[in-house]
Chain A
Amino acid sequence: MPSANATSQTNPARFSDRLSIGTKRVIWAWTFLTLPILFYAGIRFYPTFQAFWLSLTNWDLLRPAQFIGLANYQKMFADPIFWKVFNNTFLYLIIGTPVSLVTSFVIAFYLDRVRFMHSFIRALYFLPFLTTAAAMGWVWRWFYQPVPIGVINGFLSTIGIAQQPFLRSVDQALISVLVPAIWAGLGFQVIIFMAGLRAIPGTFYEAARIDGLGEWAILRKITIPLLKPTTVFLVVFSSIGFLRIFDQVYNMTTNDPGGPLNSTKPLVLMIYQTAFSSYQMGYAAAQTVVLFTILLVVSLLQLYVLREKK
């Protein structure tokens, strides 16, 4: 008994003594990584492959999934609603990204030079970024109401402009949803642009002034080229954000999500409805694969285009 006790005490000590410091550190490293590896394998990688697999099945929660080949994709590409949604998604992107980037750059460019109440004004622009779309969806819906209630229509009527239908109109609804989405993200982009502007060494500007360059030339020849890493980051970040738009749309069109007549419906909302309103899980998985492909192509394309322009 005492001897067994002694060996059990000395054995681990001897065992660890025999390991070199390097080996011990490798063991520590893998110990630290055990849980994270399980997490990423089980909650990121496995579900990714499962999504691809489900997109080839007719799984609907009731019956077990059956392999049906590319039928989901055929159905999707033949569906006019899918193409409407596809179109909407790209409208959010091609209006949202340039408008928000140009606006935030102009604000950042001038705000960077303002000293008086700098952080107060910066806070005004940043605060909307901290809100949740569920809450702000209500505020904006209220703003868009017709006259006795709606703030915007109330303002328009006092300056003599006709009432606008906003969210009730097939033509205006998408823009009406996009404005709050741009509004909410603007402050973040302003801060990132300002960080980028600060990172440009002051000596570049001094040299340019000594060479007699005007403000406009300095902007074109120095600020914008040197700001490129920041711009690339923001273009990609905001494009992905607009392609994945959901919260604002869902919360501003709750009674008929994506309405009127699918005029505001983006891809993610279609995925949500296919999966969790009609429970066509296989079909919804095929739509997520399309979303994945679009995001991949758009980010690679933008990185490529912006890198070439050096």
Chain B
Amino acid sequence: MNQKIILYLCLLAFGIAAPFLFPAFKLQISIMWILVVLSLTWDVQGGQMGYNTFGNIMFFGLGMYICSSFQIGLFFPLAEWTASGGEKTFVHTPTQFFQGFFIGLILAAIIPAIVAAIIGYGILGLRGHYFAICTLGLGIAAGEFAGGIELVGAGQGMTSPPWPKGIGDTELRSEFFYYICFLLMVFTFLFLRWAYSTRFGLVLNAIRDNEDKAEAMGINTMRYKITGWVVSAFFVGMAGGLMGNMIGYIEPVETAFAGRTFGVFMVLMAILGGKGTLWGPVIGAIAFHIFKEGFWTFFLGWQYVALGALIVVVVIFFPEGIMGWLREKYPERFGEIIDEEDRKAQVELK
């Protein structure tokens, strides 16, 4: 137990000190925390509940658009902002910026969560192939729609508010966003860690293993499925809002509803790390991100080809991921000490 606390403290210390240890990689590490959030929340559906969603990216894009729209719309006419491409005619004062940022971020979490709750009843009633393809459709439809709405810049996209002048340089900006990202990641992790220890976690696993049985035992599975999706949407939406601010530019299909990048990454990271475990998605995201940042350039344009190949290979040969492999190798570390005598024992009824 003590070991665990020390481990957590070390990680926390690393997270806090990272921007000073690796000042050149602040943005990269911030994005890494966002990726951890994405893969953790994908795992709520894909791993714990056994519902392969390709649609969580929808909440990411939604959060991104909502956050920036409110940040701008609270103080300036949004239509003119997007029409001018965020020209320097509108400048946020520091107070306006931070007010807008926090209000936007909260709405970016709440609105996708509400959307998830509303559509959840219809969508989560689907199973298997149907659910997977339906969510795939949702994610892409959302991107196509966003690309048609003039108010948020249609296919051209929009800029998110720039860092206000007069309160420090870009260094401060990246540190600010770094800590928000880190905080979001820590909060997501702790929330899910707690949630999995409650009835919620056990019911999700029951749904994964046999949903019909869970219903026959009187569990209102739909309630848990929707709650799970709302939780995912909440954190993914917030991550989206943050990401939009960090990169400063929102494009419907490339950054917001980025099915080809983040949408794929979140699935791959969770499986790579080990779906259905708490630490798996975290490890998967970190490993994937380091690999991506470190070796991406060696692929000379073949990156996304390699990505596709990686998915196929991981899914076919390594479906249980890193955590699953560790579990197989060191079962005692996972509290799975199986007494051979117990395993072979004959059942007796006297």
Do the two chains bind? no
Residues of B at under 8 Å CB distance from A? Answer: none
Footprint of B on A, CB under 8 Å? Answer: none
